[in-house]
Chain A
Amino acid sequence: MSYSSVFLRLGCLALALVPAAPFVAAQADIPVPKSVAPAKQYSAAVLSAGQSAFLQNCAFCHGKDTGGGESGPDLTRSKLVADDVDGSKIGPVIRNGQGIMPKFAVAESELAALVAFIHDQKRIAESQTGGRKGVETADLKTGDVAKGKAYFNGAGTCSKCHSVTGDLAGIAKKYAGLQLMQRTLYPRGAKVKLTVTPATGEAITGDRVFQDEFTVALKDPTGRFRSFSTSKVKIKVDAPAEAHVELLPKYSDDDLHDLMTYLLSLQ
């Protein structure tokens, strides 16, 4: 429904709060990230204050119970939350934002209460028995490995750029389940190389920092930030990962499940 900060919030929060680490559940082959610190007892007053702040600011995206909401990821399965000790990891993300997640101005006491509430919800979620909510690696293995391999090397055109003995060797160990699926469909944040040629002077090649209709910026080989008016230069963009976008309209759901089952077998 409504959804506020829009578009941008979508999968990006998944990246923001669940970086290069598996989601996944207890009964799957890779466990839910376990908290590094032992579960704490928080006072009812702190949890109540934390819930109140969470409902106001976080629940729309992350769900009322922190288990995921309008596009925001399930915090009970977040590696970042698991690695957090008293706000050490959660605090900076709330205060600075990350990816598209906006920053929130919260006082120390409010932050401590939010952190307490999130950890307590993780404890409650993990104590649940029976089928867990959320996407598990096992859920994604519904396809056929042989068909997935054939698709990878054939119609899917994956093998034009990738090799399962090269860049994708052991890929299922690096990325689990949902995260591998997301990265397969579109690898967000992939590096883009730019070559900018001014009207006079040498061409400069470097990693793109940003680019819009009016300005383009890169880091040159010495690490220096350089920006240019798009109307004053010639720009060549080298973004091989954008080939994934052209594939999006072509996948059938069966293609995708075969491909995922194959990729998840690359342990």
Chain B
Amino acid sequence: MSFLNSVTRPFAVAAVLAGALFGQGITPEMLLKPPADSWPAYHGDYSGRRHSPLTQINATNVGGLSLAWAFQTGAATQIKASPLVVDGVIYFSVPDVVYAVDARSGRQIWKYQYPANKGFHIGSRGVSMYKDWLFFVSPDAHLVCLNSKDGTVRWNVAIADANRGYWSTLSPLIVGNHVLVGVSGDFDNLTGFLKSIDPETGKTQWRWDSTPPAGTPGATTGGMTWMTGTYDPEAKLLYWGTGNPTPVLNGPARPGDNLHTGSIVALDPETGKMKWAFQPSPHDTHDWDAVEIPVLVDADFKGKPRKMLMQASRNGYFFVLDRLTGENLLTSTFGPVNWSLGVDKKGQPIPNPKKEPAPDGRIIAPDEAGLTNYRSPSFDPKTGLFIVSTHPSYAIYFNKPADGAFGWAGADYSVWGTGVLQAIDYQTGKAGWTHDLGPTGAGAGVLTTEGGVIFTGDAQGNVLALRTSDGKTLWHAGAGATMQSQPVTFMLDGRQHVVTGIGGVLYSWALPEKQ
């Protein structure tokens, strides 16, 4: 998509840099064609490929990468945000706090503190930007609009009722004049929904519900919309993943497929009307959301040009869909999976009823964290490889009548897991190469670049640069904590930077400046 078409030639870069000096914030055009000196949205562009056209840092010279600066939040909270980079300023968040940091020096420009609240403080995945306004969701499910110049509040609206058990962590998606926000909430039986909010006024434009209203007889609840979706500006379709049904581990309480939980849905961004839906996890009983990034790729599939959507899903299945129709092109597994009876004619896995949680336990692969989770994969167009951090794992799942039919309704325990970066060939679903990331699991997001380099993190606190073609390590640095976010990259004063949030520290890496 747009990122591929993005400027790579020096004169073109100079032109956008000049434009950026005026500090216009974000325009719709920037989101369609992100300039080289920016990372203007959660995924960098609308496609979710997390592939940068930048080549200054490449497979030949990345071994010389060094630290440009580090920004210490001083917060105990881990950074899970994907930073935005606009007009030489980095914007990122942790729960309750938004930071603006100078991309050149790593110095704080301003900091916004959200008032104390009882929401789950489990993570904040970053802010989003429209014109000069930043959008931040709070642990108690409010959407706050901030002035990007000084972090002052323009308005604050509730997305959902935190007192009922909703919370929010995502970086909103901006499409045209829509701020798209989703919700979380697994500990109560609640309806999942996606809201479109007016960036100027905070008024709700539309709302799409993933499940019927709570209390509907025989119906499921859940289907939380807790990750940032992707968008095809030509098809004018929004792609969003939905979470697991509730009660989480009690399947008999909610018979059937539990639409539209564990699903990928295509929505019209103007109306919220659903065009198609595909369900990676019908009748989930293992907390496997299908919110993993729906990655949009235009390429050949079996010799025919296709507009595709690819997802490495938490339940261990990799899917390739035609994103205009939702037609399934490929379904495969990318690690140990023991909970299904196979795949139906729609390409959706068929859950094995004998693998539902039980009083004496069921051994299940993968575990609740899934074969992968919310942190972004990346698609490298040159090699056709879908690079994803995976977690081969086993767990035991329990449910008994005393656990009830509300919220979690059972218990599950991971017994073993490990971390493996996999390069999946999207035409076969098979791993081209793998790279061990260490015991238990890593889970860092992945960035690929046109320079033939992958940036990610391992399970033991190392930032890694690997060669995209074969997964060989080219560079590493011990960062003191495991990366729980995804790297971003951009040009600044003619120098390519890679920024990684690790622990409570934001690190900026670059090749040494010529003295």
Q: Which residues of chain A have a CB within 8 Å of any CB of chain B? A: 1-8, 10-12, 14, 52, 55-57, 59-60, 63-64, 68-71, 74, 100, 102-105, 130-135, 139-140, 142-143, 178, 181-182, 185-186, 188, 210, 212-214, 244-245, 248-249, 251, 253, 256-257, 260
Contact with A along B386-414 (1 / 0, CB 8 A): 00000101111010111110011001111
* Interchain CA distance A57-B122 in the complex, whole Å: 7
Q: Which residue of chain B is the closest to A68 with respect to CB atoms?
A: B411
Q: Which residues of chain B have a CB within 8 Å of any CB of chain A? A: 76, 78, 80, 117-123, 139, 169, 184-187, 222, 224, 226, 243-244, 248, 287, 289, 291, 336, 338, 354, 358-363, 365, 367-369, 373-374, 391, 393-396, 398, 400-404, 407-408, 411-417, 419, 436, 438, 440-443, 458-460, 462, 473, 476, 478, 482, 484
Residues of A within 8 A of B122 (CB): 2-5, 60
* Interchain CA distance A181-B363 in the complex, whole Å: 11
Q: Is the Cβ of A68 less than 8 Å from the Cβ of B408?
A: yes
Q: Which residue of chain B is the closest to A249 with respect to CB atoms?
A: B336
Residues of A within 8 A of B78 (CB): 4-5, 102
Least Cβ–Cβ distance between B123 and chain A, in angstroms? 4
Q: Which residue of chain B is the closest to A52 with respect to CB atoms?
A: B118
Q: Is the Cβ of B368 less than 8 Å from the Cβ of A63?
A: no
Q: Is the Cβ of A71 less than 8 Å from the Cβ of B414?
A: yes
* Interchain CA distance A14-B187 in the complex, whole Å: 19
Least Cβ–Cβ distance between A169 and chain B, in angstroms? 24
Least Cβ–Cβ distance between A230 and chain B, in angstroms? 11
Least Cβ–Cβ distance between B391 and chain A, in angstroms? 5
Q: Is the Cβ of A104 less than 8 Å from the Cβ of B76?
A: yes
Residues of B within 8 A of A69 (CB): 187, 408
Output the residue of A68, A132, A134, A212 with the most chain B CB within 10 A. A212
Q: How many A-B residue pairs have CB under 8 A?
A: 186
Q: Is the Cβ of A131 less than 8 Å from the Cβ of B402?
A: yes
- Report if A6-B373 is in contact (Cβ < 8 Å); known contacts: A213-B473, A249-B365: yes
Least Cβ–Cβ distance between A142 and chain B, in angstroms? 4
* Interchain CA distance A244-B400 in the complex, whole Å: 27
Known: A185-B396, A248-B416. 8 other contacts (CB 8 A): A1-B248, A1-B287, A7-B369, A71-B368, A182-B415, A185-B416, A186-B394, A213-B436
Q: Which residue of chain A is the closest to B184 with respect to CB atoms?
A: A2
Q: Is the Cβ of B402 less than 8 Å from the Cβ of A132?
A: yes
Output the residue of B118, B438, B478 with the most chain A CB within 10 A. B118
Least Cβ–Cβ distance between A189 and chain B, in angstroms? 11
* Interchain CA distance A7-B442 in the complex, whole Å: 8
- Report if A2-B476 is in contact (Cβ < 8 Å); known contacts: A70-B408, A131-B401, A248-B416: no
Residues of B within 8 A of A134 (CB): 411
